[in-house]
């Protein structure tokens, strides 16, 4: 297998919680990401799923250098991202782009489409004005839109068209990795399939890698090569997409799939419901973080923390049942 394009090693992000007043002091830490490791290879899609508050968005912010890790490291093409400065950091940000969830708020209503797509080129490249204009037209055509829409404003487009524009902006700098932060959840169901198909076509044509973050298990399973399941700041299971869909092992993963709609009305699934809310990341449960909601709870679960263990080829799970 080729070397990883991006590799996270024991990545952690803790946010301090302080008491009020002039002489505030730290009274604890929100452990948003707590020891996460994963790899993304050239031309593949890594899906990341989990409930709200599990750490998916914070993980994406660490990849995008919007947040600095508390500990651990991100390795991009063999280089530690935290050590990049100046030109090398600029090249990393050029190579790693993002498509946000809501195309209605991620595109400035005061800028024309051409200026929105040109902006990262003006920051990251030394291209001439004509070169930038040509590149804008090129990426618009890549996402299935005519080049002359560059003169229009975002409000003149539908939600699906706006998301195509956002994808074009991410492609403009010849990105190698794109973080897709729930890119279809704000769109009509009829439009989602078109955007997912577009992303797959672009990946085949350009060899881009994706980190696809989402709640919609069907969408994530469809587009991803591998999936990582997160719960309360930790990865609890990873497997190839088809394997995870057909054979989820962790009780939390089983519950996620049980709660989603079956792909066929006659499909039989294990009924596994979990109760309660996700515990606070400020004071997570000891041992396995999921034990307070797990139907298979054992005494050991509240005392020891299960580590990710490979139970079959490329299928790892953090659970004492295995």
Higher pLDDT, 44 or 267: 44
Beta bridge partners of residue 98, listed in sequence order: 179
For residues 45 and 56, is the Cβ–Cβ distance under 8 A?
no
Structure tokens at 75: 């390795």
pLDDT of residue 283: 87
Mean pLDDT of 280-299: 91
By mean pLDDT, which of 85-89, 96-100, 131-135, 261-265 is the weakest? Answer: 261-265
Higher pLDDT, 140 or 276: 140
Beta bridge partners of residue 99, listed in sequence order: 180
pLDDT > 90 fraction of the chain, expressed in percent and rounded: 76
Tell me the C-alpha distance between 16 and 292, whole Å: 24
pLDDT of residue 265: 55
Confidence bin at 280 (pLDDT 50/70/90) = confident
Nearest by Cα to 114 from 97, 96, 95, 129: 129
Element (H, E) at 178: strand 177-181
Mean pLDDT of 79-92: 94
pLDDT of residue 290: 94
Confidence bin at 138 (pLDDT 50/70/90) = very high
User: Which DSSP symbol is given to 127?
Assistant: -
Contacts of 207 (CB under 8 A, 6+ apart): 42, 43
Tell me the C-alpha distance between 219 and 186, whole Å: 13
Structure tokens at 54: 């599990």
Q: Using one digit for the tens of pLDDT, what is the confidence trace for 38-62?
A: 999 999 999 999 988 899 999 999 9
Element (H, E) at 240: strand 234-240
For residues 172 and 121, is the Cβ–Cβ distance under 8 A?
yes
Confidence bin at 66 (pLDDT 50/70/90) = very high
CATH classification number, 6-19+26-317, choose in 1.10.10.60, 2.40.160.20, 3.40.50.300, 3.40.50.720: 3.40.50.300
pLDDT of residue 97: 96
Structure tokens at 167: 């994808």
What are the sequence ranges of the domains in the chain?
6-19+26-317
């Amino acid at each position: 297998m080729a070397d990883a394009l991006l590799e996270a090693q024991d990545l952690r992000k803790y946010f301090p919680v302080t008491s009020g007043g002039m002489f505030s002091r730290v009274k604890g830490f929100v452990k948003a990401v707590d020891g996460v490791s994963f790899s993304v290879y050239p031309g593949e899609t890594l899906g990341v799923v989990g409930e709200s508050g599990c750490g998916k968005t914070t993980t994406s912010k660490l990849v995008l250098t919007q947040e600095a890790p508390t500990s651990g490291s991100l390795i991009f093409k063999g280089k530690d991202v935290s050590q990049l400065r100046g030109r090398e950091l600029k090249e990393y940000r050029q190579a790693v782009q993002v498509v946000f969830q809501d195309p209605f708020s991620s595109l400035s209503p005061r800028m024309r489409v051409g200026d929105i797509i040109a902006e990262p080129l003006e920051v990251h490249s030394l291209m001439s004005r004509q070169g930038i204009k040509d590149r804008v037209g090129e990426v618009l055509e890549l996402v299935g839109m005519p080049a002359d829409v560059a003169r229009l404003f975002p409000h003149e487009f539908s939600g699906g068209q706006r998301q195509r524009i956002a994808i074009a902006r991410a492609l403009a700098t010849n990105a190698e990795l794109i973080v897709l932060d729930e890119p279809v959840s704000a769109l009509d169901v009829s439009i989602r399939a078109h955007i997912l198909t577009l992303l797959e076509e672009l990946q085949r044509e350009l060899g881009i890698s994706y980190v696809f973050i989402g709640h919609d298990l069907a969408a994530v399973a469809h587009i991803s090569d591998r999936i990582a399941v997160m719960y309360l700041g930790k990865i609890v299971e990873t497997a190839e997409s088809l394997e995870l869909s057909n054979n989820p092992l962790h009780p939390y993963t089983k519950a996620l799939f049980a709660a989603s709609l079956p792909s066929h009305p006659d499909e039989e699934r294990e009924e596994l419901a979990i109760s309660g809310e996700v515990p606070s990341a400020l004071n997570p449960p000891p041992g396995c973080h999921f034990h307070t909601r797990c139907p298979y709870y054992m005494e050991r679960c509240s005392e020891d923390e299960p580590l990710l263990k490979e139970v079959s080829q490329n299928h790892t799970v953090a659970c004492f049942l295995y």
